[in-house]
Chain A
């Protein structure tokens, strides 16, 4: 792991655990001079959204993950967790609906519902448990549809998770490591995220226009 990745990771943990980050930063400042200007400080917390590669202007960003990883067999329960973050305002409630393909059986959790009062920048999370969504057999796609109205139009976003997600980007070979099959991590790898734990990815060209 690169040194600065470790620093970022540590800082992230510090925030989450409520450490006195401000004080820590000031401590660094006290010893600062021109010569030490490259010490990590405020800018160590920079993590620009611009490096994301999501659909531009989307209503909502949806990330689906399989909690605890993909089951090996279809008779094992899979827990799907969706995190929905609004990017643009809906007129009213935000509706969500899990769309299950044939062969995937609903066990628990709300398949569809409305969430009131969600504003841009805010997130909500929903989980369902299903059977028939595993690494076994044929691939199956589960979709989360988020919809509503905005200025009178029917609008929405969706996200698809496959029980056999693409294990490589198509520009590369197949990489048969099931532990890495996590859509969230795949997403974070786009465009040079610092979060990769040891995996070396090719560098995408700068300035991809979305």
Chain B
């Protein structure tokens, strides 16, 4: 019995290893793009590797034996003692929280292969069962063999591979040798000496790889259980065949890259940054797949994610979104205590929610260090500690005051934790099985819809007619489905008057449409103020749109004076607009003035600017801004674009030179700088150069 490290496992953070890596690169062949660096040297992007094929089951004829082996992995339990602190905080008995105790679990549904050591022939292949056991028929031929348990699966329960990196694509394996002697009767059950084969949580830490694999199985098991057509109203996961028509089986294959001691940030040149991520496309030497944090610069006592079940399933949630729903998230940095791009909030909020339902616990936990790390002193608690959390758990039932609770209706669509909570509160309720029943409903909000209809709405987001996908799109789709399911379901979920906070949409202050971000605008040949009402926007006030005097929030700046964040809910409006290339659509004009009825006592309204972004934009990324008009108020009249009566400000976008297609119009209230004054409220509207109104 023994373990074998990945055959070419590497984390090259050492000069001593540089030569080896250079040689390895030289062997990569001509594929890849040559790039230059300013030292005069050059390096190729490493091409994506090819995973070794799965072994096929072998049909055994004649005398056979049944090989039964138990395979387990050990992991730190990220919910040790319910996540509460243990220890006394003394130097010999430090506080611990997070990865505190270990537990042994079966390696389930993983590839299991029996190999003849004499000739390396595969004599049988299959997978472990749900208890981590094999039952493989092998030829009853004397000799020395080994059984390998590999960190991957390709069966009806699970399709996933945990590999060392995207270039070598080596799986992890546990193996044990055994001998077949002569004279054993056919059909005899045989095992291997030494008991269960175990992947450890420390040392080589293959337990990390198998824990990742097990979490993906947990996700698939959850989906198999809950995503089924169910025509029985009033039961758990009710999802009638009139709207739900798919029973989940197993998700497509996913490749996960993990190496102990290595941060995936090393794949883009920042090896000391702790990060896990999902890449839905390839570029820059990063290839499609999940990347899970195995440590930093060889250490597992800074931050790891291979035992952070929430993080693993969060990233897998992104994979599911990519496969089953389509994502428009611009990705990148996000923080649960901020108003962020609603495309990002939706994607991250979904992933947070999915890990919670898959794990059956209403929180998201990210840990650091573990109980086997050296104790550190922390004067704040006058104590020593070893294991800790990266941040306090996100609780799906609790709003955290100023950190993640929306304050205005519509704001929840821009907050990732709010998105997570609204989904959790939508599925949980009295008819659902534990732990999704009412026992854990501490916030008094539980629409009791079950998961199946949420999944159905989620998968409807693949529609090509949708863009800039956010939770508003999900809500819109869900609204249609709940209308079919019946008013009791619909009314448990929403209250369009926003009075009853026991409804998830009300509690989380979310709109069930996209009125606050990427609302499509269509030119209408009507007079200003006469847009035809859009029936899909409940209780929507027609333009003029407004920024009140106290609405916009000051942009934040970094230490160099750059604007690094702007409030997309309060300070910006974003609309989707189709430029058809015609002369009538060449200009988009913004006209604005001081808000009628403004009582601020301030003379000048907010200075409004317009930026045009391309599809898939990152907000405030200069390279995604294709046009802009950002003059200072008061603005001179631009020739050919006279101000309408009573309007005092204008910006004009000239689309000439741009290809016909969809663009995003960002109307931004300028509010930056330490001495920036608050302005009077502003009201505005948008029209084409020929006077056609841009209507929602």
Chain A positions near chain B (C-beta within 8 angstroms): 4, 8, 11-12, 15-16, 21-22, 25-26, 29, 32-35, 37-38, 41-59, 64, 87-95, 97, 99, 112-114, 120-121, 123, 135, 139, 141, 143, 145, 147-162, 164-177, 180, 183, 186-187, 189-192, 194, 197-210
Give Cα A204 to B560, complex, Å. Answer: 25
B42: CB under 8 A from chain A? yes
Known contacts A48-B565, A55-B303: does B377 contact A112 (CB below 8 Å)? yes
Q: Which residues of A contact B621 (CB under 8 A)?
A: 46, 48, 50-51
Known contacts A48-B620, A57-B336, A162-B297: does B392 contact A207 (CB below 8 Å)? no
Q: Which residues of A contact B673 (CB under 8 A)?
A: 22
Select the residue from A4, A34, A52, A99 with max chain B CB neighbours within 10 A.
A34
Q: A53-B268, A203-B283 are known contacts; what are 19 more A-B pairs with Cβ within 8 Å?
A: A29-B631, A34-B652, A34-B654, A37-B629, A43-B630, A55-B274, A56-B348, A88-B403, A95-B378, A121-B556, A153-B97, A153-B388, A158-B303, A171-B268, A174-B18, A174-B43, A199-B37, A205-B283, A210-B331
B185: CB under 8 A from chain A? no
Contact A153 B389, beta carbon cutoff 8 Å: yes
Cβ 8 A contact of A46, one of B21, B165, B562: B562
Cβ 8 A contact of B35, one of A8, A58, A160, A200: A200
Give Cα A206 to B165, complex, Å. Answer: 20
Cβ 8 A contact of B302, one of A8, A158, A187: A158
Give Cα A155 to B393, complex, Å. Answer: 10
Contact B368 A158, beta carbon cutoff 8 Å: yes
Give Cα A162 to B270, complex, Å. Answer: 12
Contact A147 B388, beta carbon cutoff 8 Å: yes
Q: Which residues of B contact A169 (CB under 8 A)?
A: 266-271, 285
Give Cα A198 to B36, complex, Å. Answer: 10
Contact A202 B629, beta carbon cutoff 8 Å: no
Contact A120 B330, beta carbon cutoff 8 Å: no
Contact A207 B333, beta carbon cutoff 8 Å: no
Contact B13 A162, beta carbon cutoff 8 Å: yes
Give Cα A192 to B273, complex, Å. Answer: 16
12 A-B pairs in the complex with CB atoms less than 8 angstroms apart? A53-B273, A56-B333, A94-B380, A139-B14, A155-B389, A162-B271, A162-B272, A165-B13, A171-B284, A172-B46, A187-B270, A208-B331
Give Cα A205 to B13, complex, Å. Answer: 24
In this complex, what residue of B is CB-closest to A13? B560
Known contacts A153-B393, A157-B390: does B281 contact A205 (CB below 8 Å)? yes
Give Cα A165 to B285, complex, Å. Answer: 19
Give Cα A92 to B10, complex, Å. Answer: 40
Cβ 8 A contact of A166, one of B271, B332, B565: B271
Q: Which residues of A contact B10 (CB under 8 A)?
A: 170
In this complex, what residue of B is CB-closest to A123? B559
Contact B273 A201, beta carbon cutoff 8 Å: no
B604: CB under 8 A from chain A? no
Q: Which residues of A contact B571 (CB under 8 A)?
A: none
